[in-house]
A and B are shown apart, each in its own frame.
Chain A
C-alpha cells in the first residue's frame, strides 16, 4: 500500500513501517522554542537534569515575541534563554533575527525533516516538504534533551487547489477560503497535503503562507511535496545540498480529498473572533479601521512587502489610521531596504518596526484600544489577541491590508490593481 508524505517521513524517522493511526517514537531533526515558551522548556530541562541538548546545531531558542523586551519580567525571561543557550551549546536567535518560523524556513528546515517547535505555527516549514508540528514546552524540552519525540501518525486530507488564481487574490485568500470551508477544527489531528495544478505553481513564499495557517484548521502539519521551486529556494539560501525529493505515493490512502476550483475565489476577510468566520471582501460592508498590520510569520516576507509597496507607492494612508509594517526576518528587512520598499512605506505614513512578531500576540508595538478595529495579515484573530479583548481583528492578504490602509475602511484590493 502506498504512503502519504506524513507516513513516509515518520516511517523514515522511526525505523518502522508506519501507517496512519500508529504511535511511534521518532528522531527529530530541528527543535526550537521562542521567548514565550522557551523559559518553561528550560525549567523542564533542568527538572530532568539536562544542561545540554542532544543536537546543538539544530536546537534553537528564538527571542522574537517580545523583542526587544518591553518590560523587566520579559527581560528576565530573555536572560534565561540567553544563558541556557550558551550553557547548552544551542543556537540563540536574538532580538535582531526575526520570527522563528521565517528564520527556520530560511536557515534550518530541510525537505524530509521532522521539525518540532514550541509554537503552534511550526507547521510553516511544511512548505519545504518537512513534517513540522507545534507542541508545548514540556514536549519540546524532551525534544531538546533527546532529539526524539512521540507522535501519532496522522491521517491525511489532500487539498487540491486547481485552476487559476484571479488578479488581487493571493495565497492568503486561498487558505482563508479553505479554513472557512472546513472550519477551525476541520483538520484536527490530521495532516494536510497541499496539491493540485495551482499549488504546484505557487512560489515558496506563498506556500509558506498556506502551510503556516494549516493549524488554524486544527491540522498537525500542512505539507507540500518538493519540486524545482523548493530546490531553487534552498539554493538561494545557500542550502541547496539539503534538497531531497519528497512526494506521496500514487496509491497513498487519504482520509478525504478536497478539490477547490480557485477561479471562484475572491479576496477573503476573516471577521472577529475566529478565522473561519470569513466572507469575500465584497460582502464585508463598511468597516472602518483604526490600525493595519502588515507582517508576521504569515505575511511578513519580501513578496508580501513588495505587493504592499506596489499599492502604497505615491499614496498616503488614511487620516487617523496607523499602518504598522513588520518584516518577518533580518534578511527580509535588508532586502526590503535594498529594493526601496521601506522608503515607500515611510513616505506613505507607515511605521516600520524591527523584525519579529510585532503586535501580533498583543505584547507590545501596537496593542488595540477599547473598541478599536485592526485589519491584519496575521493568522489568527481571536478575542484579546492584540492585547485587548475589547478590540476587533479582521484578517486579510497584504494587498487588501495595504489598499484598506489607504481607504480607511476594509476595501477590495482589485480597485487598486485596475
Chain B
C-alpha cells in the first residue's frame, strides 16, 4: 500500500488550515452505496488505493473520477454510504480530491469511517443545491454558502468526540498522540 500518498492527501485537505472549503457541487441521489463508490469487482485494487481511486463512484457516475478536481464537494440525498464497512470508500473519495460530502443523512459506518480518516461529512438539507453550484463551507461556523445561488444552508454540528478525532487528524493520530483514547 502506498501509505505516503494517503498521508500527503490527508495533510493537503484544503479545509484544514482555516476551516474553509471551496468547491463545485457534484450532485447524487439517495442511497449511494459503498458498492457504487468502491465497486467489489475492483476488490484486488484495495491494496493499491491510488489505482482504486481512479474508479471512485464509477457505478454512480462513470466520468466522476475524470471530472473531479481537488476540493470539489459531493452532494447527495439520504443514506449516503450505505452497505459495506469498506473504509476504502471514503478513503478513495478523499484521494480523488473530494473536499467534503454533504448529505441529508449518512449510513452509520461510512460516517464514522470518514471522520476516522479525516474527510468532513456534513448533514444538511441538500435539496436546494444543484450540479455545478459553487459552494463555500465554513467548518467552524457551520454554514454553507451557495455562491451560485446566493443562499446559505446550515449544517448539523458534529458530536464532540468526532471533532476531537478530526482535529487530531484522524483516529490513528488521536490514539498515537494520547497513547489511547482521550475522548
Contact = CB atoms under 8 A, between A and B. Distances in A.
B176 A387 contact: no
Interface residues of B, number: 44
Nearest to B170: A138
B46 A152 contact: no
A382 B35 contact: yes
B47 A362 contact: no
Nearest to B110: A136
A39 interface: yes
Contact of A73 (B45, B86, B112): B45
Contacts of A117: 85
Interface in B45-82: 45-48, 59, 78-79, 82
Interface stretch (A139-147, A196-204, A255-263, A400-408): A139-147
Contact of B181 (A25, A44, A382): A25
A135 B114 CA distance: 11
Interface stretch (A182-190, A243-251, A278-286, A304-312): A182-190
A118 interface: yes
Given A47-B3, A188-B107, A138 B172 contact: yes
Nearest to A46: B3
A136 B109 contact: yes
Interface of B: 1, 3, 31, 33, 35-36, 39-41, 43-48, 59, 78-79, 82-88, 105, 107-109, 112-113, 116-117, 159-161, 170-172, 175-176, 180-181, 183
12 contacts: A23-B161, A49-B176, A66-B43, A136-B116, A139-B112, A145-B175, A146-B175, A185-B107, A188-B108, A382-B83, A383-B33, A389-B59
Given A136-B109, A148-B181, 16 more contacts: A37-B86, A40-B46, A44-B172, A47-B172, A136-B87, A138-B171, A139-B171, A184-B31, A185-B78, A185-B105, A189-B108, A274-B31, A363-B44, A380-B83, A383-B59, A384-B41
Interface of A: 23, 25, 36-37, 39-40, 43-44, 47-49, 65-66, 71, 73-74, 76-77, 80, 117-120, 122, 134-139, 141-142, 145-146, 148, 150, 152, 184-185, 188-189, 218, 220, 274, 361-363, 367, 380, 382-389
